[in-house]
Amino acid sequence: MRVLFCILSLFVVFNLCGKEINVAYPKDPFSLQLIVMRKKGMLEKEFAKDGIKVKFHDITIGLEQIRAVAAGKIDICGSLNTTSIIIAAGQNIKLHIIKAVCNSTGVLALMTTNPNIKSVKDLKGKTIACTKGGTMHHLLREALAKNNMTLKDVNYIPMTLEENYNAMFAGKVDATVLTTVEMVKAKNRGARILTTAKGLMRPKLVVAVSESFAKKHPDWVGRYVEVQDKAMEFIKKHKREALKLAAEDFGISYQDAEFLYDNTNLISTLNKDDINSLKDDIDFLFKQKLIPKKVNILSQGAAVDIYFENFVRNQICVCAVSSRSILERFHGSSGHRSRHNL
């Protein structure tokens, strides 16, 4: 009996060994649900009972997250802008949107410290720094286009988000695009907002998983979604504690964390306006030659029910589009979780 027990124990250890979920954790976007999930150890607790380890990777830039997914280093992008997903789709890199995080319209801005620049029109011939690709690049192009300009009308220098911030205050560039924490810090130091994303585009941060992960571990995907929903409930019930966690994570004041919260629309699913804006984003990115073709998306509207094995038909698979909780898709009529449909 003891020998049998040892054999069974070894079998369990062998099967649990190597099970790991790699999650991209961007430091800058104000993804409060993800912050709470990490700081409270919620994912680790959920998966520990099955011997599954959760490893976070601090990757902020959207396209860097995409490259990490393509290289097999990341399974879940905990907070990723849809612009990066569209650009990836144009390169035949398929990700599946399993959950929405927020609309960051109010905390994505084109900013300047140059007193001679009063509006976007004044940027003609000026030097602008901006992260290449992703939502910030998208906003810059939209802002210029609205004022009958393109990147050819300015001296555009691609930089990382931190470099953008430092270059503007060092007087090396006339303007830059900043988001969330850097935007607040710049505002506190006297930088002025030329325009936010409002009226130009609708930034959408979502949770995305690799195609292989979605097909191989639909149950894990469902459990991740459940944990994020629990994090959202925690935020609703314990807002002050959640914002303290965010302030600590970002190294900012509680007041700044509250400002980011008030100007970021936390969401769980993509609504009709989000889906329509995805179509507009695709059209704009195609027109700007940032994607070689107009990619296909799944956008039947609310209550999308689809099997994971059918996801391969779409470059972008929008499955978090219901006003109902996505959890309903993981439970059958008997109350047990379905491992196949979403």
Quote the pLDDT of residue 212.
83
Q: Where are the beta strands (DSSP E) in the chain?
A: 20-24, 53-57, 76-81, 95-103, 108-112, 127-130, 155-158, 175-179, 192-196, 205-210, 265-266, 316-318
- Alpha-carbon gap, residue 48 to 245, rounded angstroms: 23
Clarify whether residues 28 and 68 are in a common domain. Answer: yes
236 and 191 both lie in a single domain = no
Using a 10 angstrom Cβ sphere, with 0-12 exposed, 13-18 middle and 19 or more buried, the burial of residue 244 is middle
Q: What is the C-alpha to C-alpha distance for residues 185 and 114, in angstroms, rounded to an integer?
A: 17
Q: Is 147 inside any structural domain?
A: yes
Of 161, 179, 196, which residue is a domain's last?
Answer: 196
Cα(238)–Cα(288) distance, rounded to whole angstroms?
43
Residues 112, 85 share a domain: no
Please check whether residue 262 lies inside any domain of the structure: yes
Nearest to 55 by CA among 75, 28, 34: 75
Per run of 10 residues, the mean pLDDT along the chain (length 342 residues) is: 44 53 87 95 95 92 86 92 88 86 92 96 95 88 95 93 91 94 92 94 90 86 93 97 94 94 90 84 86 65 30 44 38 35 30
70 shares its domain with 215:
yes
Strands (E), 42-189: 53-57, 76-81, 95-103, 108-112, 127-130, 155-158, 175-179
Residues 84, 48: Cα–Cα separation, whole Å: 31
- Are residues 223 and 301 part of one domain? yes
Question: Distance (Å, rounded) from C-alpha 330 to C-alpha 336?
Answer: 8
58 lies in the same domain as 121: no
Q: Is residue 273 assigned to a domain?
A: yes
Q: What is the pLDDT of residue 3?
A: 44
Are 13 and 82 in the same domain?
yes
Domain membership of residue 119 (yes or no) is yes
**Rounded CA gap, 33 and 253, in Å?**
19
Q: Are residues 252 and 323 in the same domain?
A: yes
| Structural domain total, the chain | 2
CA 238 to each of CA 30, 231, 243, 244, 334: distance values in angstroms, whole numbers, following the listed order? 17, 10, 9, 10, 32
In a domain, 337, yes or no: no
Q: What pLDDT, on a 0 to 100 scale, did the predictor assign at position 7?
A: 42
Assess whether 116 and 82 both reside in one domain. Answer: no
Closest by CA position to 215, among listed 315, 311, 314, 109: 311
Instruction: Among 161, 177, 196, identify where a domain stops.
Output: 196
Cα(47)–Cα(10) distance, integer angstroms = 20
175 and 208 in a single domain? The answer is no
Give the C-alpha separation, 169 to 190, whole Å. Answer: 10
pLDDT at 230: 96
pLDDT computed for residue 145 by the predictor: 94
Distant-in-sequence, close-in-space partners of 337: CB < 8 Å, separation ≥ 6: 219, 222, 330, 331
Which residues, including other chains, have CB under 8 Å from residue 210's CB and lie 6 or more apart? 69, 72, 74, 75, 95, 96
- pLDDT of 190 reads 95
Residue 336 lies in a domain: no
Question: Which pLDDT value is given to residue 161?
Answer: 81
Is residue 180 within 8 Å of residue 107, measured between CB atoms?
Answer: yes
Are 228 and 295 found together in one domain?
yes
Name the residue among 99, 310, 299, 97 with its Cα closest to residue 215: 310
Q: Is 211 inside any structural domain?
A: yes
- Which of helix, strand or coil describes residue 133? coil
- Rounded Cα–Cα distance for residues 134 and 1 (Å): 59
Q: Is the dihedral of CA 258, 262, 268, 274 positive or negative?
A: negative
Which of 196, 222, 237 represents a domain boundary (last residue)?
Answer: 196
Residue with tokens 């000026």: 126
238 belongs to a structural domain: yes
- The domain containing residue 190 runs over which residues? 106-196
CATH of the domain at 178: 3.40.190.10
Query: Hey, which residues does 193 pair with through a beta bridge?
Result: 111
192 and 218 in one domain? no
Nearest-angstrom CA–CA distance, 130 and 138:
10
Residue whose tokens read 């807002």: 239
